[in-house]
Structure 1
Amino acid sequence: MIMKIKVFLLLVMGGISMLTGCKHRETKQENLQTVKTEMAAVYGEVKTSSFPGKVKAASEINLSFRINGPITKINVTEGQFVHKGQVVAEMDSRDYVIQLSAAEAEYTRIKAEAERIIQLHGKQSVSDNDHDKAVTGLQQITAQYDAAKNALADTKLIAPFDGYIQKRYSDRAEVIGEGMPVFSMISADLPEVEINIPANEFVNRDRFSSYTCLFDVFPGQVFPLQLISISGKANANQLYTMRFRLKRGNDSQMPSPGMSAMVSIIYKPEENQKISVPITAIRDTGNGTMVWVYDEATQTVSERKVTVTQILNDGKVIISQGLNLGETIVTAGVHFLSEGEKVKLLPDVSSTNVGGLL
């Protein structure tokens, strides 16, 4: 009896230990290390060119009906946010309901007749000519029936994507024609920035490295940009248009279409230029001097061996090998990481949120 009790207690303790271990592992997976990062920068002067720009919506379109008729409902107002698939306006559907009913009745009649002839043709009771006429007639009435269904569906004007109603051009009870704009709409996707550069900058476009922009309404905040395109042909002013997309960041402070911006183009460094990083990013191990490189796509860190050639008075070191310009490295928390570990970034402190109390 005592032996059975001991065995039972061992099993219970083992189960508790396994549950505790699983819970500990789950907590460990959820509690990611918080690290501070910084981009590897060029030591010394880096060529930068700045140009004024304008924020534009990623997509801006006019919404219009594909059919003619009077508008019976306007369901949204200017400035309102709408979701993809939302009905923003409706047209009088009475005539299109009648057309659909007539088309459906004709479709039902011809379909039944065509199926009968096709069945008889399979028994070689009707000629090939009668069979072909029946098939063609069924195809034609099917197309007419589908067109009538589409016309009825087109009495509702649908938002094609998430976004904002920018302007309304038509009112309720107004009779409009096919293709006449009812609303203009901008998408809720990340906005774009557009600038124009002169020919002397355009010919050096292969040396462009990265792009940022500033806004007067967000003082002290730098917004990174992703290049979308550079026009290959100059406009009437002999300038070349560059389009950028604002990268995802603090959406509560995302610039809006129409805002003015100052875009900076950072050039690639010369081959003999060196890279500087904060000395806090450096970690000496038995295998040499290391830094942690952060991968934005996987949100993980990997160890990288580097060569330090000089320690500067401003708290930075010069690296001659092992690191590329623009790579993101960990500058705080370097002694508590492991290879391939997933981490979360320390959020930027807003200049208007002193102490991070808001």
Structure 2
Amino acid sequence: MKVKLENLSKRWGSVVGADSINLDIQDGEFVAFLGPSGCGKTTTLLMVAGIYKPTEGFIHFDDRVVNHVAPKDRNVGMVFQSYALYPHMTVFRNISYPLKLKKIPKEELQERTQRVADMMGIGHLMDRKPAQLSGGQQQRVALGRALVKEPNLLLFDEPLSNLDARLRLTMRGEIKRLQMELGITSIYVTHDQVEAMTMADRIAIMKAGQLQAYGSPDELYERPRTLFIGGFVGNPPMNFIDVEVSLDNGEYHARREGFDMVVPSERGEKAAGKGKVILGIRPEEITMDDDGIPGEIFVVEPLGRDDLVNVRVSGTNIHVLADPTLGLKMGQSVQLKFNTHKVQFFDPQTEKSLLWTD
């Protein structure tokens, strides 16, 4: 099922929950709503579910406007952060509850419930109650309950937030596998950019109730259209450095005191002559080099495969991912080489990209 949000807004008096959201979701697509707490992700999701009524705008399911369709009639499955399981009911009764409400015949109810439970790997737990289950098992029950009604649309609201890191990794893979196998259009709300980047076909980035960008993970990572997107997408986050860009002897230089970098002309020409601009560069695009920009190590944070090294360069801190075998130490003098083909430039006033904004 296709989903279209058209100028969708939700307000409570002067409080804006969502502001003129426009996006299209294709049939079978997995879309993540990504952003910090309070940015309007869940508000938008609950409007799609029918729990909140839009103040303005329209929600389309295929070619049908569903603004006034009751939640129970939208054929939507929801999975919440809290699981929302009935504590007095067994796994079987929790999963089958939506079918019972629809008065599905007993034999069909039992067959569909067992099939979904087996698909979720909890078919052997049907007689247990939620208190007897692990967090991961409870999440599988919640997902099974959403799937058993054979929905046209799946909605996830921070479903993995209560799980530990190892279980989150496992459940990310399971949810994505199931979604691809079943081909159900899905919207997934999260503040975790790793979840969004690894699971979604496209990501809608939100801030303060507004849609900042909508695109594939690679597009948002490689071509951030705003300063916020550059800093929010990617882990560790992008470095930002105040510079001025000028053309000298046929080369574009990004400079500040103690910092001089030659940048490719196709990037430098878009930032030259604009006064102070913000240069963005990701930690993985910086290496230690004997012929680089000088700096001093401020902190070294071991991450296992890499060290996250905080280097003081020209009065600003720059994060670099470095090989632990280098044995870098606090206070050590180093030189940094930047992959200049990956630098970004942003306008400090509008915070928009100087490279990718139309």
- Sort the TM-score into its range (normalised by shorter chain): under 0.3
User: Which has the larger Rg?
Assistant: 1
Q: TM-score w.r.t. structure 2 length?
A: 0.24
